[in-house]
Amino acid sequence: MHRFFLPPEQCRDDFLELAGSEAHHALHVLRLHPGAEAVVLDGNGLRLLCSVHSITRSSLTLSVTHRTHLPEPAWRITLLQAIPKGQLMESIIEKAVELGAWRIVPLLTERTVVRLTPEGSLGKQMKWQATALGAIKQSGSAWLPNIEKPITPNDFLARRETFDLALVGSLRDDATHPRTFFREFSDRHNRRPATVALWIGPEGDFSFAELELIQASGALPITLGPLVLRSDTAATCALAVLNYELSSGSC
């Protein structure tokens, strides 16, 4: 089933129009024809089963045959990810969306190689949001994660956001498997955490001062095994573990 995206305000009627890049993909790549079925996602929980009603050279009209509004996830994971070199951030975002991240906060850490101007930060944010959009169409997720503008760990912590459980990937000897902290939370509260923050550092890890500050805010140090993982591998691995622990009946 081919999936497309339209913002919520364009999904209210029984007939929807695909234009621009979405229409180009439908017409010239997928070569959809009248009567073909498709799914439209609005990124806000709405999934629309549609059929192609009519076609022009540059647009398609879809007829909505069924509407499904999916409930919000039972938990929200915020991935606080140090920006790696090259194009790895896009891959991290794709995998994070597939693994159910609710929000992604790109971090400019002391050891982050990438340096961005305000204009560059905005451009990266828009590009990464488009990557997340492509990922929900690929995975079929009804919820579009928000990709924030790059920010330093200090500035994020200054917001004083609170989470049921905050975890930080760490290479220190006192790091513990995430399962330990999920079980401790479950024992104390008799439920799974509803909001989880996951901090993943850059190549070379967070600086000592950054890690001290993150842990002082309440983040608990976790290990992902005896090997040193690349930043993108660590993010994917940690999110997979969190996804398992949150969906497991043992929590």
Which domain CATH number covers 30?
2.40.240.20
- What pLDDT, on a 0 to 100 scale, did the predictor assign at position 172? 84
Residues 50 and 136 in one domain: no
Q: Kind of pairing, strands 165-169 and 146-147?
A: unpaired
Residues 184 and 80 in one domain: yes
Rounded CA separation 138/135 (Å): 5
Q: What percent of the chain has pLDDT over 70?
A: 99
- The CATH number of residue 120's host domain is 3.40.1280.10
Mean pLDDT throughout 32-61? Answer: 95
Domain boundary among 10, 41, 69: 69
Does residue 233 carry a pLDDT above 90? Answer: yes
Domain boundary among 10, 34, 69: 69
Residues 142 and 55 in one domain: no
Name the pLDDT band for 117 (thresholds 50, 70, 90).
confident
- What pLDDT, on a 0 to 100 scale, did the predictor assign at position 171? 84
Query: For residue 95, what are the CA distances in angstroms to 41, 165, 238?
Result: 19, 21, 11
Angle between helices 178-189 and 231-247 (to 10 degrees): 30
Domains identified in the chain, total number: 2
What does the pLDDT look like over 205-229, one tens digit per residue?
A: 899 999 999 999 999 999 988 888 8
Query: For residue 147, what are the CA distances in angstroms to 77, 150, 183?
Result: 13, 9, 29
Q: What percent of the chain has pLDDT over 90?
A: 84
What does the pLDDT look like over 153-210, one tens digit per residue?
A: 999 999 999 999 999 998 888 899 999 999 999 999 999 999 999 999 998 889 999 9
Residues 206 and 134 in one domain: yes
Mean pLDDT throughout 19-47? Answer: 94
CB 2 within 8 A of CB 32: yes
Rounded CA separation 50/30 (Å): 15
Does residue 249 carry a pLDDT above 80? Answer: no
- What pLDDT, on a 0 to 100 scale, did the predictor assign at position 41? 96
Does residue 251 carry a pLDDT above 50? Answer: no
Residues 61 and 87 in one domain: no
Rounded CA separation 103/139 (Å): 16
Residues 188 and 225 in one domain: yes
Computed over every residue of the chain, the mean pLDDT equals 93
- What pLDDT, on a 0 to 100 scale, did the predictor assign at position 95? 96
Residues 33 and 134 in one domain: no
Extract the runs of DSSP E, i.e. beta strands, from 45-156.
Answer: 46-55, 60-69, 76-82, 101-107, 146-147
Residues 110 and 173 in one domain: yes
Residues 208 and 239 in one domain: yes
Residues 130 and 46 in one domain: no
- What pLDDT, on a 0 to 100 scale, did the predictor assign at position 203? 86
- What pLDDT, on a 0 to 100 scale, did the predictor assign at position 83? 95
CB burial of residue 243 (10 Å; 0-12, 13-18, 19+)? middle
Domain boundary among 69, 93, 111: 69
Mean pLDDT throughout 72-89? Answer: 93
Rounded CA separation 225/231 (Å): 14
Name the pLDDT band for 19 (thresholds 50, 70, 90).
very high
As a dihedral over the C-alpha atoms of residue 172, residue 174, residue 178, residue 179, rounded to 10 degrees, the angle is 150
CB 133 within 8 A of CB 144: yes
Note the pTM of the prediction, 2 decimals.
Answer: 0.91
- What pLDDT, on a 0 to 100 scale, did the predictor assign at position 62? 97
Question: What value does the CA radius of gyration of the chain take, rounded to a whole number of Å?
Answer: 20
Residues 95 and 57 in one domain: no
Residues 35 and 17 in one domain: yes
Give the number of C-alpha atoms closer than 13 A to the C-alpha of residue 136, restricted to the C-beta side: 26
Residue 56 belongs to domain spanning: 2-69
